[in-house]
Structures are given as structure tokens and as C-alpha cells.
Amino acid sequence: MLQTGNRIKVSVLVAARNEENNIERCLESLNELNFPKENIEIIIGDDNSDDLTEELVARFIWDKPQFKCIKITKQLAGLKGKANVLAQLAHEATGEYFFYCDADIAVQPIWITQMLAHFRRETGVVIGVTRMKHVHLLADLLSMEWLFALTATRFFSLFKIPITGMGNNMAVTREAYFAIGGYEKIGFSIVEDYTLFMGIVKQGFDFQMAYKREVISISEPMNTFHELLRQRKRWMQGVMDSYWLTRLSLFVSSLIVPILLLISIWLPINPLSSIIQYYILITGISLTAVLMLRQFDLWKAALLFWFYMVSIGLIMLVNYYLPSKTIWKGREY
């Protein structure tokens, strides 16, 4: 049965700020969802954009009753940015399930049905899989970074160890969202997806991961190193607030080469041999992700990923500890 009482089945919530270059691609993919239109609503929250985002959305949805756009001009309960938008959209939503994707994401037509299949009676949140559009080597390495992290997340999820949520491909039940008081009770965080995920898990709800090709969403990649640094400044906030195992893995992966070199001073180990073994381990996991998710265009990126990982990890640590503001979507946090 697709409807429960007067409620529809699914509400898709999209926060958008200054997304004139991406929003139409996102809306096109949402319009192509293979799900009964009478049982889905798609609500876009325009976060007071100062570009053509609102105009483009209005033009696209005018003859599509399942879409709705709300202009967000006020702050709710001290919230800011994306968390503020999603908090207000949740009160507009009528679905039993809240699905989240970003404005620079394109979803697959079967996204909704495939994610719903992972919900059980006790499940509060389901995490999907995201990669970048295949446009250049940096994009492929970023895709590999996502798939590597999500493969690790999938592994730990088998033991019911929560690692993180993903605001660009995640679904929660209405019951779970309001059981924790929504974003108003969680409070502001620049990594709102992680705080929502952990809040639901800590409330006692089960979590599942939809680790399969059918739910993979495609994101627009960072195209410059400067853009990447700004994004990672924000992400590092989430890592430092996350599960201890996530923090430990970041420090180990970022500092593994100097750590091995230092250890070799006091212990009889061959640092070069250890580094080669570490490369084989990381590359093996990367290729496993490529094979399991059938993302075969990323095999070259999988072979190069170790070099990217040890480099970007160290850069992220240095960038995080530099005394500078986190800037995202034209706002300082």
C-alpha cells in the first residue's frame, strides 16, 4: 500500500543555494523517477539565492504538480545554511519517508524504489552511494575517494558500527526524524547530514546501507584545487565530530608514510616494504569497490588512489588546522 492515511509515501527534500549551473540537471533526474507521481512530492528550498536558481526552478516546475519550491528567507531555531533549509522543508513535507539529495546531484530513475527496499520496521535511516561525473582525472579520484569511504562504511555497517551519513543520498523515516526533534533539536552543524544520521542512530533506530549500483547518484565534481580545499575544510569539521574510528583512520592514512619512516628508526622494519604492502591493501579495497559496484571506468583511478589519498589526507589536516574561516556557498561559518 503506497499511502498511509492522508500521507503520501515519499518527500524528496532538496536544499539549493546559487545552483544555477546544476539545478536543472538535478530536477530533470527527479522528474524521471520511476515512482507513482501521486505518491511523491519534491520540495526545493531556495536558500535565498542571488543567482538564477529560483527562476530556473520556477520555470521547470510550473506544469509539474509533484514539485514545489519554497524560498527560505528566515532562520529557524538559530539554524544556518543547509540545516536551516532542510528543517523548514521537513515541516512542509507530508511523506512517510524523507529522501535527501543535493542540487548538484542526478539520481537514477529507480533510486526511490531501491532505497525503500532497505527499510525494515526498525530502520530509521538508509544511506546510498554517490560518485562524481566522469569528466577528468581529478573527478575520477574524487569518485574513488567516495567509493573507498563508502566501502569501508558498508563493511562496518555489517557489524552495526555507525560511521557517517550522506546528505546527497540518504533517506530517513518521518518517525525517526521527528523522534529526535529534527534539526531544531539537533542544533546547527555545518555537516548536517552526519549529525542527522548519528542523532537517529543514537535514538535507537537501526541504519542500513544500500551498497549497490542501482542507487548510485552522480555528483558534479570539484573542478579546481581551490574549490576542493574549501569543500574539505567543511568536511573535516564532520570528521572531527565523528566516530573515533573515523578520526583515527584519517590520521593513520594521512600520516602513514612519516609514521613508518619514524618507526623504522627504532624497530627492525623495512619502511619501503611496509609502504608497498599498504599500497596493495588500499588498491585492493579500491578495486573491490570498482568491481562490486561495477564502476569499471574508475579502474585507473583505483590504481592511483593510494597516492591521492596519502596526499589529500595530509593537505586536509593542515588546511583544517590553519586559522581560517570555513566558507561554503558564499557564507562564512
Of all residues in the chain, what percent carry a pLDDT higher than 90? 65
Q: Contact 14/39 with Cβ under 8 angstroms? A: no
Place of cell 570498482: 290
| In the chain, where the domains are located | 8-128+166-223, 238-332
More confident residue, 314 or 331: 314
Instruction: Single out the residue of 180, 156, 153, 19 nearest to residue 98, CA to CA.
Output: 180
More confident residue, 170 or 244: 170
Categorize the per-residue pLDDT at 2 as very low, low, confident or very high, splitting at 50, 70 and 90.
very low
Question: pLDDT at residue 322 above 90?
Answer: no
6: phi then psi, degrees, rounded to nearest 5 = -95, 5
Q: Give the DSSP H/E element, type plus range, for residue 229.
A: helix 225-240
DSSP bridge pairs for 71: 46
pLDDT in tens, 168-207: 999 999 999 999 999 999 887 767 888 999 999 999 999 9
Within 8 A by CB and 6+ apart from 98, the residues are 11, 13, 90, 171, 172, 173, 174, 177
Categorize the per-residue pLDDT at 242 as very low, low, confident or very high, splitting at 50, 70 and 90.
low
**Integer Cα distance of 303 and 195 in angstroms:** 33
What mean pLDDT comes out for the span 50-64?
A: 96
**Integer Cα distance of 211 and 156 in angstroms:** 12
Determine the pLDDT at residue 120. 94
Q: Is 129 left (phi over 0), alpha (psi -120 to 50) or beta?
A: beta
**Integer Cα distance of 10 and 94 in angstroms:** 8
Of 7-21, 49-63, 145-159, 254-268, minimum mean pLDDT range: 254-268
Instruction: Single out the residue of 115, 125, 137 nearest to residue 165, CA to CA.
Output: 125
Determine the pLDDT at residue 198. 92
CB atoms within 10 A of CB 149: 16
Architecture of domain 8-128+166-223: Alpha-Beta Complex (3.90)
Categorize the per-residue pLDDT at 331 as very low, low, confident or very high, splitting at 50, 70 and 90.
low
Categorize the per-residue pLDDT at 4 as very low, low, confident or very high, splitting at 50, 70 and 90.
very low
Question: pLDDT at residue 1 above 60?
Answer: no
pTM exceeding the 0.85 threshold for the entire prediction: yes
**Integer Cα distance of 165 and 183 in angstroms:** 15
